[in-house]
Chains A and B, each alone.
Chain A
Amino acid sequence: MMDLFRLVGTGGVIAYRALFNWATPAMFVGTLLVGPLFQLLFFAYLGRQLQVADDRFYIVGNAVLAASLACVFGGTMAVSNERRFGTLGHVLLSPRSRTAVFLGRVLPYAGNGLLIAVSTLTAASLLLGLRIPLSALPGLLLILAVAALSCGFFGLALGAVGLRLRDVWLVSNVAVALLLLLTGVNVPATDLPTGMRVAGQLLPITHAAEAARRLAAGDSLAVAAIPLAAEAAVALAYALLAATLLKLFEAESRRHASLDTL
């Protein structure tokens, strides 16, 4: 059991350092901390101008969304960068559980996403003067953690798809744009056409943003528990999807030589 924890924990952290393209301080601060904050400010001021919703709607929603960039792209890099370094074959030759190897890789990215979401929320609240009840903070932290994990598994599933595609970044870029559009973070879900609203329910962030808004509005954790549970279910579904795709593609690669294993 200890060996399994080491594989997931130590292995995950080393893999993060090996495979995450934005781990340098300049890239981290610029892309993951400053970028999402400016995006949040943009939508908050746009919302004020158009009077669609109040600051809380945009600050909380975009803070949850801020976790997605590191997690979705990180999850993708956690798998598809193996092709770039030519290390996929050596990973596939491991006798250890694939599920543990790859799902363990998501944890550092989820931690990363949580850090970004918290810092974005803090900075935006200070800049725009949003007051969040102190009692809501532990619950908010839990929601942001679940959202980050959900995005990480979503990214891992995209990364698995990327094993078969020549350009995985196309998929990740489209996925991030869809999160912006469909999760109700910047456009209230009630204003979206039915199809888009339903699609949004199946994506990470949607339920977490709703839960976080309820807590920030002063509701109890019990009220936020339903959307939080929905977000956790989405996370679990993407974790299962990622594990299944990775197993499937590995088995297919052995039969059809379909992966760049070297």
Chain B
Amino acid sequence: MSEIAIEAAGLRRTYRSRIGWFRPQRREVEAVRGVDLTVGNGELFGLLGPNGAGKTTTIKLLNTLLIPTAGTARICGYDVVRQTREVRRRIGYVFGGDRGLYDRLSARDNLRYFAELYGVPGREQKRRIAELLELVRLDGREHERVEGYSRGMRQRLHIARGLLHRPRVLFLDEPSIGVDPVAARELRQTVADLAAAGTTVLLTTHYMAEADELCDRIAVIAGGLIQALGTPAELRHHADGRRVLEVEAYGVNDARLSAIHTLPGVRQAGLEVVGAAQVLTVQSDAGIDVQADVLRELAGVRLGRVTARQPTLEDAYVAIVNRVEQRSAAEAVPV
């Protein structure tokens, strides 16, 4: 058995589209621009990136739904373009969201059908389905139609479906999206248990805490390229030499945010809406205390808690992604 579960070399994917019939306009989007990746057997690997970074396209290239424009990829040693049947026997695919299940069927019948599709032998199906329903804690509700399930229950059923044929590699594409905190914690536990049992997991998520807690290694993808790769601890170094100031505020506008951006020592500033409040996060050089300057720029704005802290994985991620965005913007400026 190969030590490598997933390997990709120079993986590229360009989408070509045409709009209009009489005067067609053709567009090309390079979603993935040369991804190199190696994931070992039993590893829990995170793929993080902003929307449109190329995460889902990369997964679709690896799970055979798409053919790469260039480059190669292998799953458990099998080529994803030429040996699709062998690859499909060894992979499971779970994505977040409400869709992807037959709403009119019960959980059990959904699993029965996919057990047929994924080639689970008839004599094994009943036992396997019961095992999985118990694993994802849907036993007792398995005869109810899926249309009445909550998002969390659906998500757990997605996972059960992905595991029916005991895949060696499991692709989890934002599995916890829209799931409540309790269900998300249960889901994380399930994923951790799977990895502990030897399943290779490739996880994409927008939740840094989730990636930090679960992943052995993380790759940050942006602009269709892997921008950083390492353990969560290694990735945090991308925010080394920085400190972070968080300010809870009510009514920060774009002009004030722009002014904060230009303060001496400020590397990054971002605004996030949390409930009724805004959370302003300012990353600055570790040697410069920007708190007084920031608060001066916020004069007249109602403020809540002000906190200075060490950078987290999320800050490192923001630093990496922003660096890419700044580079892209600089390249786009006409000379």
Chain A residues packing against B (C-beta within 8 Å): 2-3, 6-7, 10-11, 14-15, 17-19, 23, 85-87, 89-96, 101, 253-257, 261-262
Contacts and interface: CB of A to CB of B under 8 A. Distances in A.
Contacts, number: 89
Contact of A254 (B66, B117, B121): B66
A253 B97 CA distance: 22
B100 A85 contact: yes
B84 to A, nearest CB: 8
B16 A256 contact: yes
Contact of B117 (A96, A255, A256): A96
Interface of B: 15-16, 56, 60, 63-67, 84-86, 88-89, 91, 93, 95, 97, 99-105, 109-110, 112-114, 116-119, 121-122, 161
Given A90-B161, A95-B85, A95-B118, A14 B63 contact: no
A15 B114 CA distance: 10
26 contacts: A2-B122, A3-B119, A6-B116, A10-B116, A11-B113, A11-B116, A11-B117, A18-B109, A85-B101, A85-B103, A87-B100, A87-B102, A89-B93, A89-B100, A91-B117, A93-B65, A93-B88, A95-B86, A96-B116, A96-B117, A254-B64, A254-B65, A254-B66, A255-B67, A257-B15, A262-B100
A93 B170 CA distance: 13
Contacts of B65: 89, 92-93, 253-254, 261
Given A90-B161, A95-B119, A256-B16, A17 B112 contact: no
Given A14-B112, A14-B116, A90-B114, A3 B121 contact: yes
A101 B117 contact: yes
B93 A19 contact: no
Nearest to B123: A2
Nearest to A24: B104
B99 A94 contact: no
Contacts of B67: 254-255
A22 B91 CA distance: 34
Given A17-B104, A94-B118, A95-B84, 14 more contacts: A3-B121, A11-B117, A18-B110, A18-B113, A85-B99, A90-B117, A92-B65, A94-B88, A94-B119, A96-B116, A101-B117, A257-B15, A262-B56, A262-B100
A219 to B, nearest CB: 43
A93 B161 CA distance: 12
Contacts of B104: 17-18, 23
Contacts of A7: 116-117
A18 to B, nearest CB: 4
B105 A96 contact: no
